[in-house]
Chain A
Amino acid sequence: MTDASLSTWVHRRAEPSWLGRLLDSKPFLVVVCLLPAIGLLMTFLTYPLALGIYLAFTDTTIGRAGIWVGIENFTYLFQDPIFWGAVFYSVFYTAIATVGKFGLGLWLALLLNNHLPFKSFLRAIILLPWIVPTVLTAIAFWWIYDPQFSIISHLLIKSGLRETNVDFINTAWPARWSLIAANIWRGIPFVAISLLAGLQTISPSLYEAAMLDGATAWQRFKYITFPMLLPILAIVMTFSIIFTFTDFQLVYSITRGGPVNSTHLLATLAFQRAIPGGQLGEGSAIAVSMIPFLVFATLFSYFALARRKWQQGETND
């Protein structure tokens, strides 16, 4: 009886070929599925990361394999005022731009969280600065910051607020602030839309309860909105800090590190020394010196923000 049923079953189902069996075995499938992604990342991410750290300890130039020079590149850089200028500006740029982006982005998210007509349309056009290639909008900012034909200068003079053209990018400090402004402009949409998604998950019953207890708008924000947003804020901020600190496009397009190296970020300085300058070893050393800052920024924003959330969970009053 059992034999008969078994044989009919076997007949109905075609015997899988060795290939079919191989494709059905889980370990094989796991390897095959992971191979392209892991292979790509290992070859073009992990290996270059290690190679970059190695290059930082050699005197490689374009066209000549270098020899191991130990920490010579770093001792040279630590005596180089331009390097320290870039470190300072990278930290300054990241700090101010992050505060600006998150302040304004949170405000915009709160505004968008109201009941509005054409909400999805509004959201769509607000994301536009984030979608369009950075370099292209940076060029638009370059034109807006033009020393002679800046539209902002013109409007300010027309309205009688100023006598002369505004100096946006021709001296050190104005150039630094102008770049930060452009970075904030580009960063607001991403922050606002991500935080908006977080705001929409907060249950309105929390606000109802708070209003019944007589909480003011500020108290509702401080005790409900902000703590509930923290987990998302922590992630978005980690990303934002990392990508602002290692920013390259905006500064390279608008000032290329000038005037007189005053707006170099570590990334632009590394590029300038390594590719046009040919000093691959020194460029790598500059790039590698970003890593400690990145690790610190990630840990700080992750733990500073995420830990508050855990505490809130434990001592929720």
Chain B
Amino acid sequence: MTDAAASVENKPVTAPENEAMAWDSKARRMVVLWLPLTCFVLILLFPFYWMTVTAFKPDAELYDFNKFNPLWISSPTLDHIYHLLFKTSYPSWLWTTMMVAFGATFLSLLSSALAAYAIQRLRFKGSQYVGLAIYLAYLVPPSILFIPLATMVVQLGLFDSPMALILVYPTFLVPFCTWLLIGYFKSIPFELEECALIDGATRLQILRQITLPLAVPGLISAGIFSFTLSWNEFIYALAFIQSSENKTVPVAILTELVTGDVYQWGALMAGSLLGSLPVAIFYSFFVDYYVSSLTGAVKE
């Protein structure tokens, strides 16, 4: 984690040197750097643009590319959004998704902060192996687990309940968060804890008053990551939830809005846009945490 922070700080220093070394002419730089970069950005962003444009187009424009310019909206309309919010259970899907994401995030943060503290700070015998086992748990993909988990969920009487998702999502959140937080705890000087120990603080006081406050950036990173991952999760939500009002946004859009052979693309795109917005807004506030946790987690 510290590496990531250091590298971000180093960047302004190294970049001009690179540039000075490259002796690039302006024209060459244009072709080698700006042209491909623009293509990348355009291609990476185009589906979002297309989603937005479709969501605000009236149906007449949507299916007539020759009369109207398809890349632009001639007469924007809120019909699709209105349909979504008042004619379907979209608000309740959003609410369920939000609850599940918050619940799963809280549960995973709590358990992974404690686990990371135990592994990195209490340093018991075999703590490395516990850390390794938790890391390996991250490599077990949900596609292998959803069938046995579905039978378990039915046996526990949690089928069709968002509670099942809150309990199951930590399986892929805890390993990631623990890993991330171990890195953060590692960057907190051990001396601080030793001082507190000498001053007579109990271990719990140390955790609550010293280690956790210092690890807040790590907790935020792990929190927003968990939130996004829970918001995105699909296969468990598809397998465990049946009734319409308990579905999460991704599942509901695909199973409730796609009806028959005629797809209502306007409503589908409006639904996708609205479903992406909370994560995108969340993301835009914490963009640096995302980048640092992504790169930090890779490097740990």
A pairs with B: yes
- Given A37-B134, A127-B291, A143-B50, does the pair A55, B253 have CB atoms closer than 8 Å? no
Assembly CA distance A246 to B204 (angstroms): 41
Chain B nearest CB: distance from A284 CB in Å?
5
Minimum C-beta distance from A2 to chain B (A): 20
Contact of A283 among B147, B200, B238, B269 (CB under 8 A): B147
Q: In the complex the two chains form, is B18's CB within 8 Å of A204's CB?
A: yes
Taking a contact as CB atoms under 8 Å apart, the answer to whether B7 and A200 are in contact is: yes
**Chain A hits for B17, CB < 8 A:** 204, 208
For A4-40 the 0/1 string (1 means CB < 8 A from B) is 0000000001001000100110110110111011111
**Complex Cα–Cα for A177 and B160 (A):** 35
Q: Let me know if B291 and A193 touch, CB within 8 A.
A: yes
Q: Which of B143, B145, B151, B171 contacts A40 (CB 8 A)?
A: B171
Q: Is the CB of B30 closer than 8 A to any CB of chain A?
A: no
Within 8 A of A (CB), among B95-137: 107, 110-112, 114-115, 117-119, 122, 124, 130, 134, 137
Contact A41 B41 (CB under 8 A): no
Contact call B115/A33, Cβ cutoff below 8 A? yes
What class of interface size applies to chain B in its complex with A?
A: 35 or more
Q: How far is the CB of A59 from chain B (nearest CB, A)?
A: 14
Let me know if B231 and A133 touch, CB within 8 A: yes
Q: Does A132 contact B (CB under 8 A)?
A: yes
Question: In the complex, what distance in Å separates the CA atom of A46 from the CA atom of B148?
Answer: 11
Q: Which residue in chain A gives the minimum CB-CB distance to B14?
A: A204
Q: B148 contacts A23, CB within 8 Å?
A: no
Tell whether A197 is near chain B: CB-to-CB under 8 Å. Answer: yes
Which residues of A sit under 8 angstroms from B254, Cβ to Cβ?
135, 139, 252-253
Whether B111 and A36, one on each chain, are in contact in the complex, defined by CB atoms closer than 8 angstroms, is yes
Question: A171: CB under 8 A from chain B?
Answer: no
Contact of B145 among A45, A124, A154 (CB under 8 A): A45
- Complex CA distance for A55 and B151, rounded to whole angstroms: 10
Complex CA gap A38/B112 in Å reads: 9
Residues of A within 8 A of B271 (CB): 136
Is the CB–CB distance between A131 and B290 below 8 Å?
A: yes
| Interchain CB contact (< 8 A) of A34 among B18, B118, B298 | B118
Stretch at the interface among B80-88, B214-222, B274-282: B274-282
B152 touches A36 (CB 8 A): no
B154-176 CB mask vs A (1 if < 8 Å, else 0) is 00000000000001101100110
A133 to B139, CA, bound (A): 20
Q: Which residue of A lies closest to B15 (CB)?
A: A115
| Chain B interface residues (CB < 8 Å from chain A) | 3-4, 7-8, 10-11, 14-19, 21, 33, 36-37, 40-41, 43-45, 47-48, 50-51, 54, 62-63, 65, 70-71, 107, 110-112, 114-115, 117-119, 122, 124, 130, 134, 137, 139-152, 167-168, 170-171, 174-175, 178, 200, 202-204, 228, 231-232, 234-235, 238-239, 249-251, 253-254, 265, 268-269, 271-272, 275-276, 279-280, 283-284, 287-288, 290-291, 294-295, 298-299
What 12 additional pairs, Cβ within 8 angstroms, besides A137-B272, A139-B253?
A: A23-B203, A34-B118, A44-B149, A124-B287, A133-B231, A144-B47, A149-B65, A185-B43, A189-B44, A248-B142, A280-B147, A287-B143
CB pairs A–B below 8 angstroms (5 shown): A113-B18, A120-B288, A144-B50, A194-B298, A288-B144
